[in-house]
A = this chain, B = another copy of it.
Amino acid sequence: MSSRGVRHDSMRARNLAVVLATIHRSGPHTRAALAELTGLTKTTVSSLVADLLDAGVVTEGGAVRGGERGRPGVAVSLSGDRVATLGLEINIDYLAACVVDLTRTVRLRRTIPADNRNSDPARILAALRDLVKEITAASEDAGLRIIGAALAVPGTVEGEVLRSAPHLGWRDVRVSGLVDLPFAIDNEANLAALGELWFGSREMDFLYVSGEIGIGAGLVVGGTVFKGTFGLAGELGHVVVVPDGPLCRCGGRGCLEVYAGQDALLGDLPSVPGLVARLESGDRRAAEACERAGHALGVALTSAVHLLDPGRIVLGGIFAPLFPWLEGPVSDGLGARLGQMRGAPPALVVSGTGADAAVLGAAGLIIQQILAEPVQMLGL
């Protein structure tokens, strides 16, 4: 709870957010229905809706429903026409950007293949800045106003500092000056979890497991990402599977990544589609690699379930195309180890979003901020 009392000047801000959240959650609604749902008077609702119309946040006439006493009314719904947000991603082998409007429709999408392993941060950030300029211009051409941006990175983040991204070879890189707008930066697994929440299954409680060159996880509880104390939670890839196992590039031993990261899974194969093709043709070595990875995932996820208590487990990233071969060993491990402490292990499912999860989650994060604080974000 904030330490300030409620006065009338803060009521309008809060009530605007309540009306907008109601339209977002269950709209379209007539003004009369909004009054009923929010407990506000019809006069107050009409004044708030007028402000939201002016700002291009909502639109009228999308649908017509009966009002409280059956009278017809003009329905108000979220507008995708003017307000948009920008999602950005720096990954090991590409840069990505997408523009999403307020109705969570993807409007623009760009991907630039790149080799960012052990790269120079200044060079990559300059390339990303060019991408931002280009997609912002294209958005303006489409009549969209970008309100804010968020960036997904394959590493740990504190504030606006990328603390450690071992595969990029970056440490303590401050990311600023990308946009002159509200800006956020977060770990790709956290943002991919939000992508799954808003653009994928729309379940409210799950652990999203992001399989890439590294392995991360984002825990969503009641629709919110759990981030820990310093924003460093969910580093599933470095959960200990075998205490005296092989050295991991994090400095530890026997971490999950050593057994189930992309490099361990691929061996000398060039790509994940190549691995899938081998698996489909019944290749024995490929099947054994998946079996080993699935076994290690079962051990690490057992520890994760005991500590994090997720509603379900969603396998994403490269684990999504490999799900048919991973599901058995992972489920067996969870079932054998978790049996007596819980009614049943959490359900194990495959992600509904593709490789886009993180960049979608980044754009969605700013939409969430607009819905939570429309006055601050839109200058209403």
Residue in B closest to A234 when the chains form the complex, CB atoms: B307
Contact of A299 among B229, B230, B240, B300 (CB under 8 A): B240
Q: Is the CB of A5 within 8 A of B39?
A: yes
Give the residues in chain B near A341, CB-CB below 8 Å.
156, 164, 235, 238, 250-252
8 Å CB interface, A244-258 against B: 249-253
8 Å CB interface, A38-85 against B: 38-40, 44
CA distance A39 to B303 in the complex (A): 47
Contact of A307 among B164, B252, B304 (CB under 8 A): B304
Q: Is the CB of B6 within 8 A of A15?
A: yes
Contact of A308 among B233, B240, B250 (CB under 8 A): B233
Given A240-B303, A250-B341, A341-B235, CB of A18 within 8 Å of CB of B3? yes
Residue in B closest to A158 when the chains form the complex, CB atoms: B343
Q: Is the CB of B302 within 8 A of A240?
A: yes
Given A14-B6, A243-B299, CB of A229 within 8 Å of CB of B1? no
A side interface size, CB within 8 A = 71
8 Å CB interface, A320-339 against B: 336-339
User: Is A311 engaged at the interface, CB distance under 8 Å to the other chain?
Assistant: yes
Q: Is the CB of B6 within 8 A of A309?
A: no
Residue in B closest to A339 when the chains form the complex, CB atoms: B251
User: Is A181 engaged at the interface, CB distance under 8 Å to the other chain?
Assistant: no
Q: Is the CB of A229 within 8 A of B221?
A: yes
8 Å CB interface, A199-255 against B: 205, 217, 221-222, 226-236, 238-243, 249-253
Give the residues in chain B near A252, CB-CB below 8 Å.
302, 336-338, 341
Q: Is the CB of B302 within 8 A of A230?
A: no
Give, as a whole number of angstroms, the nearest-CB distance from A39 to chain B. Answer: 5
Give the residues in chain B near A22, CB-CB below 8 Å.
3
User: Is A372 engaged at the interface, CB distance under 8 Å to the other chain?
Assistant: yes
Q: Is the CB of A372 within 8 A of B228?
A: no
Contact of A5 among B15, B156, B239 (CB under 8 A): B15
User: Is A17 engaged at the interface, CB distance under 8 Å to the other chain?
Assistant: yes
Residue among A5, A7, A39, A249 with the most chain B CB within 10 A? A5
Q: Is the CB of A227 within 8 A of B309?
A: yes
Residue in B closest to A239 when the chains form the complex, CB atoms: B303
Give the residues in chain B near A311, CB-CB below 8 Å.
229-230
Contact of A39 among B7, B240, B342 (CB under 8 A): B7
Residue in B closest to A245 when the chains form the complex, CB atoms: B243
Contact of A372 among B1, B217, B238, B372 (CB under 8 A): B1
The 5 A-B residue pairs with the shortest CB-CB distance in the complex, in nearest-first order: A228-B309, A251-B340, A233-B309, A235-B306, A5-B40
Point out residues on A near B: beta carbons under 8 Å. 1-7, 11, 14-15, 17-19, 21-22, 25, 37-40, 44, 156, 163-164, 166, 205, 217, 221-222, 226-236, 238-243, 249-253, 299-300, 302-304, 306-311, 336-343, 372
Pull 30 A–B residue pairs with CB atoms less than 8 Å apart, ordered by A.
A3-B18, A3-B22, A3-B37, A4-B38, A5-B14, A5-B18, A5-B39, A6-B15, A7-B39, A156-B341, A163-B342, A166-B340, A226-B226, A228-B308, A231-B309, A232-B342, A233-B309, A235-B306, A235-B341, A239-B306, A240-B241, A241-B243, A242-B242, A250-B340, A251-B339, A252-B336, A252-B337, A252-B341, A307-B307, A308-B308
